Structure 1
Amino acid sequence: MSKKHIYLISGLGADERVFSRLSFPEDCDVHYLPWINPLGPDEPIQEYASRLSRRILHPNPVLLGLSFGGMMSIEIAKQQPVEKVIIVSSVKHKEELPPYYSGMARLLLRNLPDRLLFGNRHYIVKLFMQSRSEEEKMLLKDYLRKRDFRYMRWALAAVLNWQNEWVPPSTVHIHGSADRPFPRRYVNPTHTIVKGGHFMVMNRAQEISRIIEKELA
């Protein structure tokens, strides 16, 4: 039996450590797909996805994306055959974005200087991420130390301006009922983790792993 190849794509500014508590079936080889720098502030998400997908070395992979990584997984699936797309704490199309991710948010992103836009972001990040354990809090601290605001501006703009209307037929959507960045009332997931927050990939990893194992069986 040939092995499945799973490519993991983390959330905005995060890395492979957010997936450290997930477990995968024995017949799966797991690969992490790291973020790359955008070519410029206006690089379309489709072109970015095309460049990122060049690092996928196996045909017909499974893509597992967290938050912004889920959106990127769908963009990659538009451009190459995939066996399945699994998104966690994410959205599938533009209609699942909260309505307040719209005109005013885009205007603020375009016009506020870095010191105002990112200067006090630790309050928003801590509120949205809903971290619990010391390990989770340390990951957030590492994220908040990053100063690549060009990437952050590009990624935030990509989220706010996402116009996708197509959903891969094989998509599995795992979402928490208490998610703050993408509230549950706006999305239609295939699986809901009761009281799961945006960091549930770590603090509800066993439940998510069981869903993944079942979906890949």
Structure 2
Amino acid sequence: MSKTHIYFMPGLGVGPEIFKKLTLSPEFEMHYLEWKKPLFQEETLVNYAMRMVADVTHENPVLIGVSFGGILVQEMSTFIDTKKLIIISSVKSKNEFPKRFKLANASNIYKLFPTTIITNFDDYSKFFIGKYLRKKAENYKRYLTVRDKTYIEWSIHNVLNWKQEIPTKNILHIHGTKDNVFPIKYIHNCEEIIDGDHAMIILKAKQISEIINNYLN
């Protein structure tokens, strides 16, 4: 029996390590996509998605994306035929953005975001006081591997300016009830993970794996 090929796209600024705790059925062959540097600051998300498709070398794959990676795989799916499309801790259209995203976009205040916090996270993490915050900082440093300033600024702009209004058909959306980036109250038609936050791909990997296995089988 031929295997089903699954391509994973991580979230903004992170690498494929976030998927390592998933336990999927042996009939699935997993492939991990990584962020590329934008060709230039004004590169469109559509053009970027077209370039990412070149890294998908199997026909009719499953695409799985987390957060901004979920937005990207939806754009990628317009260029290739996919068996299934799954997004985690993401949105299906701009209508699922929280109000603060819309405000940030309308006012252009997002351009003031201090991207150096991400690009130089090692320097800033020493200000995380207390055992709990220090542990979170260590986790962020472990997974926050893509820190190029051009890429970070490009990503923030393209998240906030995503134009999709009608959700992609036949998409599975897995979302946490405690996601503080994309609050559940704005999300429609999803498989809920109770107490899952925006990092649940790591913290709730067992539950997410069960949903993906059941859906694909």
Shared fold per TM-score greater than 0.5: yes
CA contact (8 A) 1:83 1:170 kept: no
2:108 alignment partner in structure 1: 107
1:46 partnered with 2:43: no
Residue aligned with 2:55, SS: coil
AA matched with 2:109:
L
Q: What's the offset of the Cα at 1:133?
A: 10
AA matched with 2:80:
Q
Distance 1:103 1:190, change over 3 A: closer
AA matched with 1:184:
I
Separation in 2 of the partners of 1:17 and 1:207? 18
Separation in 2 of the partners of 1:166 and 1:58? 27
Deviates more, 1:194-203 or 1:166-175: 166-175
Question: Residues 38-69 of structure 1: CA distance to partner in whole angstroms, max 9, x if unpaired?
Answer: 11111110100000111100011000101101
Distance 1:74 1:132, change over 3 A: farther
Q: What's the offset of the Cα at 1:138?
A: 2.9
Which of these residues, 114, 117, 120, is aligned with residue 117 of structure 1? 114
1:203 alignment partner in structure 2: 203
2:6 alignment partner in structure 1: 6
Separation in 1 of the partners of 2:68 and 2:38? 14
Q: What's the offset of the Cα at 1:21?
A: 0.7
Distance 1:104 1:199, change over 3 A: closer
1:57 partnered with 2:54: no
1:73 alignment partner in structure 2: 73
Separation in 2 of the partners of 1:133 and 1:174? 28
Q: What's the offset of the Cα at 1:120?
A: 4.5
Query: Superposition pairs for residues 185-196 of structure 1, below 5 Å?
Result: 185-196=185-196
AA matched with 1:117:
P
The count of corresponding residues between Structure 1 and Structure 2 is: 206
2:17 alignment partner in structure 1: 17
CA contact (8 A) 2:15 2:144 kept: no
Residue aligned with 2:65, SS: strand
Q: Percent of pairs identical after alignment?
A: 36
Distance 1:24 1:95, change over 3 A: same
Separation in 1 of the partners of 2:206 and 2:83? 23
2:127 alignment partner in structure 1: none
2:163 alignment partner in structure 1: 163
Separation in 1 of the partners of 2:156 and 2:33? 19
Separation in 1 of the partners of 2:177 and 2:63? 23
1:128 alignment partner in structure 2: none
Separation in 1 of the partners of 2:175 and 2:145? 27
AA matched with 1:118:
T
Q: What's the offset of the Cα at 1:103?
A: 4.3
TM-score, normalisation: structure 1: 0.87
Separation in 2 of the partners of 1:213 and 1:137? 31
Unaligned runs of 5+ in 1: 124-130
AA matched with 2:115:
F
Separation in 1 of the partners of 2:59 and 2:45? 22
CA contact (8 A) 2:91 2:97 kept: yes
